[in-house]
Structure 1
Amino acid sequence: MSQWFAEYGLFLAQLVTLGVMILAVLAIAGRAKAGQARSQLRIEELDKRYRARQRQLRLVGLDKKRRKAALKAFKRDDKRRDKRDGAKRPTLWVLDFHGDIKASGTARLAEEVSLILGVIDERDEVAIRLESPGGLVHAYGLAAAQLDRLRDAGVSTTVCIDKVAASGGYMMACCADRLRAAPFAVLGSIGVVAQLPNIHRLLKRHDVDVELLTAGRYKRTLTVLGENTEEGREKFIEELESTHALFKRFVAERRQGLDIDAIATGETWYGSQAVDKGLIDAVGTSEAYLLERMNDARVVTVSLEKRRRLTERLGRAVSLGIEDGLQRIYEALEASGWQRR
């Protein structure tokens, strides 16, 4: 038995050594590729993908004879389609933007817009599937400016919102010529908010002084550590109101005819309500719109994706494997009913 344990221990030591060597090789390879481009362009023709999968469904359950006839019909349809496409069907270019509080995807969006502006035809259209609850003013101002580049270039644009486009997210959305939203998508929140804690009284209670030195009357208005003054509060509110006025003007210029004072209250509405308020033009999902456009246009998704290093991909694979294992254990325990005993 002791011999068996010794051999087993040696085997484990060899396995660990091999694993370390593999990780070292991957790390070296990752450093070697560090100078290469960190993003890659991914393009997919959605209309072709949908057509291929629909054909797969049509073939289900057919016998050999009918399957053969269906395949011939598909070929004839492809020939007619190729002949029709020789006249150059318009293209619907599809972009995606999922925003966080810092609008971190803005740089990627800017590059995608630049690429499309270099190849777009006058009959083409750009659709943006947009999801964002908003965030920092300057970050979303820059993100909205990327969509304004399409407007300034005379490109027909449609924004589709399936879940949420609020605050800075709606600032982006209103840059499009047309807005569509799902029935329960959240829209609006045209307002400005800021909050910060102040622990001055707590510090004072413990005899802690805070020296705040500034040059310029309003270099600091409200602070976290120092004692806030009424003058500072009034100035801070004045700045919020100024930002709100800019926000309202931005939306009003792009959604003409909108009663901006009535909707710029910070409230939100669902898609089925927002269409009556003039916040959007139609109620419907992005999927439905893309399927509709496939009848007369090529529908092409364009995305720049971050190129992960080998070590990153390996780490992600290991992480997903662990998560999957834990999930399976949880499901097994749940199924056994141990929590209810």
Structure 2
Amino acid sequence: MEFLYEYGLFFAKTITFVLAIIAIVAVIASSAIKQGTKKGELEITDLSEHFDDVEHEVMQHLLTKEQIKQKEKEEKKQAKETAKADKKSVKSGEVEQETRVFVLDFKGSIDAKEVFSLREEITAVLAVATPKDEVFVRLESGGGMVHGYGLASSQLDRIRQHNIPLTVSVDKVAASGGYMMACVANKIISAPFAIVGSIGVIAQVPNFNKLLKKNDIDYEQFTAGEFKRTVTMFGENTDKGREKFNEELEETHQLFKGFVSDHRPSLEIGKVATGEHWFGIKAKELGLVDDIQTSDDYLQLANKSNKVISIKYVVKKGLAEKFSKAASMSVDRIFSNLWQKNRIFPS
């Protein structure tokens, strides 16, 4: 009886806490929905300043006090000369704008939902960039849905249409839809062991029809149009439906190959559009990329003669959303604490 009493008390406490948390989460979630569409904001980071700070910090540890003083004098002198030259240029009306490298990051998911931020970032860049500038995209994606990556590729193509040089860097992977994006660039660089290519199309559909039949479960599907549904997960697939589905895959593959060929006409498309992927070194031999280099090396070198600026569009979470997430995570903790406090062992 004592065991049942303690167990019942523990169970009642647990249920009370869980219901209370669920109620709070529900209220907050409802409040978050009522807030409507969330707006993001641009985060602009001066990477040139970051590179300079790193260099300065390292030099502070390598040089003697006398050498540091001498270097600081030289830097002050250089800064004065630069300011004087800039002042003179302003007076004469011959101001030459410093060239800039705008850095964007795209780490793509299956549905390429990151294109929402990408379009905002590109719109911001196009508002200020000139053909003397450059856009540098650090791309990482194993591909995904055709329409999502098709839109992402079109966003990058906006840069090309404005005659602004576009460079794409692949440090880890740009396969399938990822390579569809990369091929839009004027130049593609890749790390030696980055995965590149996979110019192909794949679709996988599980079918549970035999399992349903075994358990005497009927599945009915109603469509208007012969090929409204070609293959299905629960119905019995037909040879005609499979054939039509394969035709659609082949048509998508032909569009993919045509897109890549248009942007990189020097490629032997029949050789590289087999669905295979290659490491960066082999990809360069095949013409899929132009140079073997990491994004870090490229940007550090670009910083010597350009202003390097990172632009990122971020949708900040509202207070209600943050609290909702925190409350949800707390449910497990509360349950765990209650169990540790009131744990019952059978005697």
TM-score, length-normalised on structure 2? 0.78
More displaced 10-residue stretch of structure 1: 265-274 or 78-87: 78-87
SS across alignment from 2:128: coil
Query: 1:1-341 to 2 correspondence within 5 Å?
Result: 34=35, 38-60=39-61, 62=63, 64-82=65-83, 87-310=96-319, 312=321
CA distance in 1 between counterparts of 2:128 and 2:318 reads 30
Cα contact 2:199–2:275 (8 A) shared by 1: yes
Cα contact 1:129–1:160 (8 A) shared by 2: yes
Once the two structures are TM-superposed, the CA of residue 307 in structure 1 deviates from its matched residue by: 1.4
Cα contact 1:38–1:308 (8 A) shared by 2: no
Once the two structures are TM-superposed, the CA of residue 252 in structure 1 deviates from its matched residue by: 0.4
CA distance in 2 between counterparts of 1:176 and 1:100 reads 20
Change (3 A) 1:81 1:93: farther
Cα deviations across residues 297-334 of structure 1 (Å, max 9, x unaligned)?
A: 111111111212245556778999xxxxxxxxxxxxxx
Once the two structures are TM-superposed, the CA of residue 70 in structure 1 deviates from its matched residue by: 2.9
The residue aligned with 1:327 is none
The code of the aligned residue for 2:68 comes to: R
More displaced 10-residue stretch of structure 1: 54-63 or 117-126: 54-63
CA distance in 2 between counterparts of 1:149 and 1:277 reads 27
Once the two structures are TM-superposed, the CA of residue 80 in structure 1 deviates from its matched residue by: 4.3
Cα contact 2:42–2:121 (8 A) shared by 1: no
Cα deviations across residues 70-117 of structure 1 (Å, max 9, x unaligned)?
A: 322222233345567763221111111000001011011011111111
CA distance in 2 between counterparts of 1:316 and 1:79 reads 52
Once the two structures are TM-superposed, the CA of residue 282 in structure 1 deviates from its matched residue by: 0.6
Cα contact 2:38–2:315 (8 A) shared by 1: no
The code of the aligned residue for 1:161 comes to: V
Change (3 A) 1:87 1:137: same
Once the two structures are TM-superposed, the CA of residue 291 in structure 1 deviates from its matched residue by: 1.1
Cα contact 1:134–1:140 (8 A) shared by 2: yes
Change (3 A) 1:247 1:61: closer
The code of the aligned residue for 1:72 comes to: K
Stretches of structure 2 lacking an aligned partner (at least 5 in a row): 1-20, 87-94, 330-347
- Tell me the C-alpha RMSD between the 2 structures: 2.7
SS across alignment from 1:148: helix
The code of the aligned residue for 1:119 comes to: V
The residue aligned with 2:345 is none
More displaced 10-residue stretch of structure 1: 291-300 or 235-244: 291-300
CA distance in 2 between counterparts of 1:57 and 1:317 reads 40
CA distance in 2 between counterparts of 1:288 and 1:82 reads 29
CA distance in 2 between counterparts of 1:84 and 1:290 reads 26
More displaced 10-residue stretch of structure 1: 155-164 or 309-318: 309-318
Once the two structures are TM-superposed, the CA of residue 56 in structure 1 deviates from its matched residue by: 1.9
Kindly tell me the number of residue pairs found equivalent between the two proteins. Answer: 295
Cα deviations across residues 35-74 of structure 1 (Å, max 9, x unaligned)?
A: 7963121111211221122112212265554433332222
More displaced 10-residue stretch of structure 1: 61-70 or 145-154: 61-70
Q: Which has the higher contact order (CA 8 A, sep 6+)?
A: 2
CA distance in 2 between counterparts of 1:49 and 1:81 reads 20
TM-score, length-normalised on structure 1? 0.79
Stretches of structure 1 lacking an aligned partner (at least 5 in a row): 1-19, 321-341
